[in-house]
Structure 1
Amino acid sequence: MITGQETLNNKKHKPLVLSASKLGISKSSINPKALSILKALNKAKYDAYLVGGCVRDLLLGYEPKDFDIATNAHPEQIKAVLPSTRIIGRRFRLAHVHFGREYYEVATFRAPHDSSDDGQVGKEGRIIHDNVYGTIEEDAVRRDFAINALFYDVHNDQVLDFAGGMDDLEKRQLRLIGDPETRYREDPVRMLRAMRFAGKLGLSIEAESEAPIRELAPLLENIAPARLFDEVLKLFHSGQAKSVLELLREYRLFHSLFPLTEKALQQDDDGYFQALINDSLENTDNRINDGLSVTPAFLFAVMLWKPMRQVEAAYREDSYPDPQCMQLAANDVLSSQVRNTAVPRRFSNVTREIWLLQSRFSQKNFRRATQFVENRRFRAAFDFLCLRSIAEQNKELQADAAWWEEFQKVDAERQLEMSKAVPHVKKKRRRKRKGPPKV
Structure 2
Amino acid sequence: MEVTRKPHLHQDWIDPHAYGIVKALQKNDFETYLVGGCVRDLLLNIHPKDFDIATMAHPPQVKRLIYMSFIIGKRFRLVLVKRDDQQYEVATFRREVKAEEHPEGVPFGDNVFGTPEEDALRRDFTINALFYDPIEEKLIDYVEGLKDIDTRTLRMIGEPDVRLVEDPIRILRGLRFSHKLGLTVEPGLREAMKRNAKELTRSVLPRRREEILKILRLAEPQVAILELFDLDILQHITPTLHDLLSSPERRDLFLEAFESLRAIVMDPNDTTQLFTWLTYSMYQAAVNAPSMREQPITIHDELFQRFMRDELGMYRFEQTVLTKSIDLLRLIQKTEEFKRRGERRQLAFMKNEGFKLAMRIAESDFLLTSAQSAFWRSAYARLSSELEVLEAEVKTKRRRRPRKPKRLGQVGDKGRTEDTDLPDEEEPVQDDDGGEEPEDLFEDIDGGPEDKRPS
| TM-score scaled by length of structure 2 | 0.71
| Residue aligning to 2:132 | 152
Cα distance, 1:274 vs. partner? Answer: 2.6
Change in Cα spacing, 1:25 to 1:218, as seen in structure 2 (3 Å) is same
Q: Quick check: 343-352 or 207-216, which moved more?
A: 343-352
- In 2, the alpha carbon distance for the partners of 1:89 and 1:117 equals 22
Q: Quick check: 216-225 or 36-45, which moved more?
A: 36-45
| Paired residues of 2:56 and 2:93 also in contact (CA < 8 A) | yes
Cα distance, 1:118 vs. partner? Answer: 7.0
| Residue aligning to 2:5 | 19
| Paired residues of 1:226 and 1:343 also in contact (CA < 8 A) | no
| Residue aligning to 1:405 | 373
| Residue aligning to 2:270 | 295
Q: Is it true that 1:135 corresponds to 2:102 in the alignment?
A: no
| Residue aligning to 2:383 | none
| Paired residues of 1:88 and 1:95 also in contact (CA < 8 A) | yes
- In 2, the alpha carbon distance for the partners of 1:221 and 1:186 equals 13
Change in Cα spacing, 1:401 to 1:139, as seen in structure 2 (3 Å) is farther
1:283-310 deviation line (CA, Å, top 9, x unaligned): 75xx6xxxx5552212222323376686
Q: Quick check: 30-39 or 337-346, which moved more?
A: 337-346
Alignment of 1:281-360 (within 5 A): 281=262, 284=265, 293-305=268-280, 326=298, 328-329=300-301, 333-360=304-331
User: What is the aligned counterpart of 1:95 among 60, 79, 86?
Assistant: 79
1:178-218 deviation line (CA, Å, top 9, x unaligned): 11111111111111111111111111101111111112112
Cα distance, 1:64 vs. partner? Answer: 0.7
Change in Cα spacing, 1:187 to 1:266, as seen in structure 2 (3 Å) is same
Q: Is it true that 1:77 corresponds to 2:54 in the alignment?
A: no
Give the SS at the match of 1:110: coil
Q: Quick check: 174-183 or 211-220, which moved more?
A: 211-220
| Residue aligning to 1:274 | 255
Change in Cα spacing, 1:318 to 1:215, as seen in structure 2 (3 Å) is closer
| Paired residues of 1:118 and 1:130 also in contact (CA < 8 A) | no
Change in Cα spacing, 1:224 to 1:47, as seen in structure 2 (3 Å) is same
Cα distance, 1:148 vs. partner? Answer: 1.0
Alignment of 1:39-78 (within 5 A): 39-78=23-62
Percent identical across equivalent pairs?
Answer: 32
| Residue aligning to 2:333 | 362
Change in Cα spacing, 1:308 to 1:58, as seen in structure 2 (3 Å) is same
Question: Which amino acid is the alignment partner of residue 5 of structure 2?
Answer: S
Change in Cα spacing, 1:212 to 1:273, as seen in structure 2 (3 Å) is same
Q: Which runs of 5+ in 1 are unaligned?
A: 1-13, 122-126, 320-324, 390-396, 413-425, 428-436
- In 1, the alpha carbon distance for the partners of 2:173 and 2:98 equals 25
Q: Quick check: 298-307 or 45-54, which moved more?
A: 298-307
Which structure carries more relative contact order (alpha carbon 8 Å, separation 6+)?
1
Q: Is it true that 1:187 corresponds to 2:164 in the alignment?
A: no
Change in Cα spacing, 1:106 to 1:148, as seen in structure 2 (3 Å) is same
Cα distance, 1:379 vs. partner? Answer: 4.0
| Paired residues of 1:111 and 1:134 also in contact (CA < 8 A) | yes
| Residue aligning to 2:359 | 382
- In 1, the alpha carbon distance for the partners of 2:9 and 2:161 equals 35
Query: What is the count of residue pairs matched by the alignment?
Result: 374
Q: Is it true that 1:172 corresponds to 2:132 in the alignment?
A: no
Change in Cα spacing, 1:438 to 1:303, as seen in structure 2 (3 Å) is same
User: What is the aligned counterpart of 1:224 among 204, 211, 219?
Assistant: 204
| Paired residues of 1:264 and 1:306 also in contact (CA < 8 A) | no
| Paired residues of 1:67 and 1:104 also in contact (CA < 8 A) | yes
Change in Cα spacing, 1:90 to 1:401, as seen in structure 2 (3 Å) is farther
| Residue aligning to 2:391 | none
| Paired residues of 1:174 and 1:198 also in contact (CA < 8 A) | yes
- In 2, the alpha carbon distance for the partners of 1:71 and 1:279 equals 47
Cα distance, 1:318 vs. partner? Answer: 11
- In 2, the alpha carbon distance for the partners of 1:411 and 1:100 equals 39
| Residue aligning to 1:33 | 17
Change in Cα spacing, 1:191 to 1:120, as seen in structure 2 (3 Å) is farther
| Paired residues of 1:19 and 1:157 also in contact (CA < 8 A) | yes
- In 2, the alpha carbon distance for the partners of 1:252 and 1:242 equals 15
| TM-score scaled by length of structure 1 | 0.74
Q: Quick check: 337-346 or 302-311, which moved more?
A: 302-311
Change in Cα spacing, 1:261 to 1:327, as seen in structure 2 (3 Å) is closer
Give the SS at the match of 1:106: strand
- In 2, the alpha carbon distance for the partners of 1:194 and 1:174 equals 7
| Paired residues of 1:221 and 1:340 also in contact (CA < 8 A) | no
Change in Cα spacing, 1:167 to 1:297, as seen in structure 2 (3 Å) is same
Q: Is it true that 1:238 corresponds to 2:218 in the alignment?
A: yes
Q: Quick check: 184-193 or 380-389, which moved more?
A: 380-389
Q: Which runs of 5+ in 2 are unaligned?
A: 288-292, 381-440, 443-452
Cα distance, 1:376 vs. partner? Answer: 6.3
Cα distance, 1:163 vs. partner? Answer: 1.0
- In 2, the alpha carbon distance for the partners of 1:119 and 1:52 equals 31
Larger gyration radius, structure 1 or structure 2: 2
- In 2, the alpha carbon distance for the partners of 1:203 and 1:190 equals 15
